[in-house]
Amino acid sequence: MKIAVIGTGYVGLVSGTCFASWGHEVVCVDKNAQKIDGLERGVVPIYEPGLDELVERNSAAGRLSFTCNLAEGLKGASVVFIAVGTPPRAGQGDADLSFVYMAARELAPLIDDDAVVVVKSTVPVGTGDIVQKIIGSVRKTGTFSVASNPEFLREGVAIRDFLEPDRVVIGVEDERARKVLMKLYGAPLEARRTPIVVTQRRTSELTKYAANAFLATKITFINELADLCEQVGSNVSELALGMGLDKRIGTSFLNAGPGYGGSCFPKDTMALLRTAQDYGVAVRIVEETVTANEARKRRMALKVVDALDGDVEGRTIAVLGLTFKPDTDDMRDAPSVPLIETLQRFGATIRAHDPVGMENASRILSDVEFFDDAYECARNADAVVIITEWDSIRKLDLARLKKTMRQAVLIDLRNAFEHGVAEEIGFRVSAIGRST
C-alpha cells in the first residue's frame, strides 16, 4: 500500500516509520523544509529511543521518504494520514484544530479519487465530520472517505507501542474505509491477535480522550492515596500492588509521583472537559483530576521545604531529572518547572541535571545551573530532589553522591531508590506515600 503521512511531528514520524517497517511505501510530508532536509539525511528531530535506526533502515530500503511537496507525497497514496499538531489554544482549554483543517483544505484537490483520509491527530469529537465537509466542498467527484484512528503511543516506548499495541481503534463511516484500514493493521497484527475495535468515527475520536482522562485519573487517585499513606503510616507502593493485582484494576499507572505532565494528559483532559461543557454534560471526576493534579505539582515544593526543616532560603538544591518522564527530552507541563520556580521564589539556589532534557529545560527555566554529571550537580547541595526516574539516575551510587553534598537530604518524588539503603548510607529521606 502507498501511504502518505502529513506532519512529521512525534505521531506522524513514528507512525510513518512503523508503517514502512511493515513493508508499506510511506511518504512523510511536512512544510518545514529544514526538518525534511534533516530527515532525508537521517537526522531525526525528536528524541525517541530506536527511532533513528528505524528511520535509517527503512529509508535505505526505499520504503520511507520525506518531502515538502504535498502533491508529490499524495500521488498514488491510497491512505493519507493527517498527523499534524493540535496544541491547546491559549486560555481556551480546547484543542487548536487550525493545522488539521489546513491539511484537509490543502490535500482535498490533490488526493486520489478513492483515497481514505485518516485523522490520527488527537481531535475532539466531530472533527472528522468537519474534515469530510472541507474535502467534500473542494472535491465534487470521487469517493474519498474520512476515518479516525487515534494513536496510543507513549513517548519513550512509542515504537513498541505502535508495533505491539494493546489494541487498535478505527472509526469509519463506510465499508471501503473499514476494509482499507483492516488490511493495513490486520495482517501485521494478526500473529499477535491484537484486538481491532471498529466503531463509528465519533466514538473513535472520543475513545482517545476517554483513555487519556482515565489514565490521568488513575494516577491522580494513587497520588491522593499516597498523601493518605504518608499521614497514616502506610506504604503506597505496596498498597498499589495489593490493589493492582486485582485484574479488574491492573498494576500499571499506579506509580505515585509529583503529578502527571507531558504533552497529552494535561491537554487532553482539558479538551475533554471543554467538549463536555459544550454539550452540557458534567464529567466531574475529570474536573477533579485536573484540579488535584495542578495543586499537587505546586505542592511538591512544600515537600522539599519540609524536608529542609521549613526553610530553603539561601539553600542549594540539586534537582535530578527534569523532563516530564524518562526517555524523552519533552519538558511540556513537566512537574519540575513549577517545583523549581517555587523553590526559587522561596530563595533557594537550583542546580539541575537531566540526561537528555537540559537543552529544552534551559529555554523554560531561568537562573538554574545545569550539569551533565549528576554527582557534580549535587556538589555542596543541601538536598537532592529526584523528579524524573531516568535509569541513569536510579543507578546513581548514593554513597558517592552523599560525599559531594553539604547535607545528606534525599527527597525522592518518584520512589526511585531503596530508602532503607539510602538511610543506612546516612541520608535523611523524604519519599512519596510512605512515612519515613
The least distance separating ligand UGA from the CB of residue 323, rounded to whole angstroms, comes to: 9
- The answer to whether 153 contacts ligand UGA (rule: CB under 6 A) is yes
Tell which one of 80, 84, 95, 254 touches ligand UGA (CB under 6 A).
Answer: 254
Tell which one of 31, 57, 139, 154 touches ligand UGA (CB under 6 A).
Answer: 154
In a 3-state reduction of DSSP, which class is residue 27?
Answer: strand
- The answer to whether 338 contacts ligand UGA (rule: CB under 6 A) is no
Q: What region, left, alpha or beta, does residue 42 occupy, with left being phi > 0 and alpha being psi -120 to 50 degrees?
A: left
- The answer to whether 324 contacts ligand UGA (rule: CB under 6 A) is yes
- The answer to whether 385 contacts ligand UGA (rule: CB under 6 A) is no
**Nearest residue to ligand UGA, scored by beta-carbon proximity:** 264
Q: Establish whether 259 is an annotated binding residue.
A: no
182/26 Cα distance (integer angstroms): 17
- The answer to whether 205 contacts ligand UGA (rule: CB under 6 A) is no
- Is 264 catalytic? The answer is yes
Q: Establish whether 325 is an annotated binding residue.
A: yes
Instruction: Report yes or no: 58 and 72 within 8 Å, Cβ to Cβ.
Output: no
The least distance separating ligand UGA from the CB of residue 138, rounded to whole angstroms, comes to: 30
In the region spanning residues 234 to 253, those forming contacts with ligand UGA, defined by CB under 6 A, are: 253
Q: Establish whether 122 is an annotated binding residue.
A: yes
Q: Which is nearer to ligand UGA, 17 or 132 (CB)?
A: 17
DSSP string computed for 151-219: --PPTTSHHHHHHS-S-EEEE-SSHHHHHHHHHHHHHHHHTTT--EEEE-HHHHHHHHHHHHHHHHHHH
- The answer to whether 257 contacts ligand UGA (rule: CB under 6 A) is yes
- The answer to whether 171 contacts ligand UGA (rule: CB under 6 A) is no
The least distance separating ligand UGA from the CB of residue 266, rounded to whole angstroms, comes to: 9
| One-letter amino acid of 90 | A
Q: Which is nearer to ligand UGA, 145 or 263 (CB)?
A: 263
Backbone phi, then psi, for 422, in 5-degree steps?
-60, -40
Residue 246's alpha-carbon distances to 210, 237, 239, 249, 429, in angstroms, are: 22, 15, 12, 5, 31
Return the exposure string of 307-330: e unless at least 16 CB atoms fall within 10 Å of the residue's CB, then b: bbeeebeebbbbbbbbbbbbbbbb
Q: Establish whether 154 is an annotated binding residue.
A: yes
Instruction: Report yes or no: 329 and 262 within 8 Å, Cβ to Cβ.
Output: no
Determine what percent of the chain falls in helix, strand and coil, rounding each to the nearest 5. Answer: 45, 15, 40
The H or E element containing residue 101 is helix 98-107
Among the listed residues 18, 28, 229, 264, the single catalytic one is 264
Q: Residue 20 has which C-alpha cell?
A: 514502512
- The answer to whether 331 contacts ligand UGA (rule: CB under 6 A) is no
| One-letter amino acid of 298 | R
321/19 Cα distance (integer angstroms): 33
- The answer to whether 35 contacts ligand UGA (rule: CB under 6 A) is no
Tell which one of 30, 48, 94, 155 touches ligand UGA (CB under 6 A).
Answer: 155
Question: Total residues contacting ligand UGA (rule CB under 6 A)?
Answer: 21
3-state secondary structure 40-94: HCCCCCCCCCCHHHHHHHHHHCCCEEEECCHHHHHCCCCEEEECCCCCECCCCCC
In the region spanning residues 261 to 300, those forming contacts with ligand UGA, defined by CB under 6 A, are: 261-262, 264-265, 268
User: Measured at the alpha carbon of residue 78, what is the angle toward residues 55 and 152, in degrees to the nearest 5?
Assistant: 55
The least distance separating ligand UGA from the CB of residue 310, rounded to whole angstroms, comes to: 27
- The answer to whether 260 contacts ligand UGA (rule: CB under 6 A) is yes
Q: Establish whether 332 is an annotated binding residue.
A: yes
Sign of CA dihedral 128, 132, 133, 134: positive
Q: Establish whether 155 is an annotated binding residue.
A: yes
User: One symbol per residue from 109 to 128: x for binding ligand UGA (CB under 6 A), - otherwise; what is it?
Assistant: -------------x------
- The answer to whether 417 contacts ligand UGA (rule: CB under 6 A) is no
**For residue 90, which of 331, 228, 270 has the smallest C-alpha distance?**
270
- The answer to whether 325 contacts ligand UGA (rule: CB under 6 A) is yes
Q: Residue 90 has which C-alpha cell?
A: 491559549
Q: Establish whether 253 is an annotated binding residue.
A: yes
Tell which one of 30, 94, 151, 329 touches ligand UGA (CB under 6 A).
Answer: 151
Catalytic center residues: 264
Binding positions for substrate are 152-155, 208, 253-257, 261, 325
In the complex, the residues that contact ligand UGA under the rule CB under 6 A are: 122, 151-155, 212, 215, 219, 253-255, 257, 260-262, 264-265, 268, 324-325
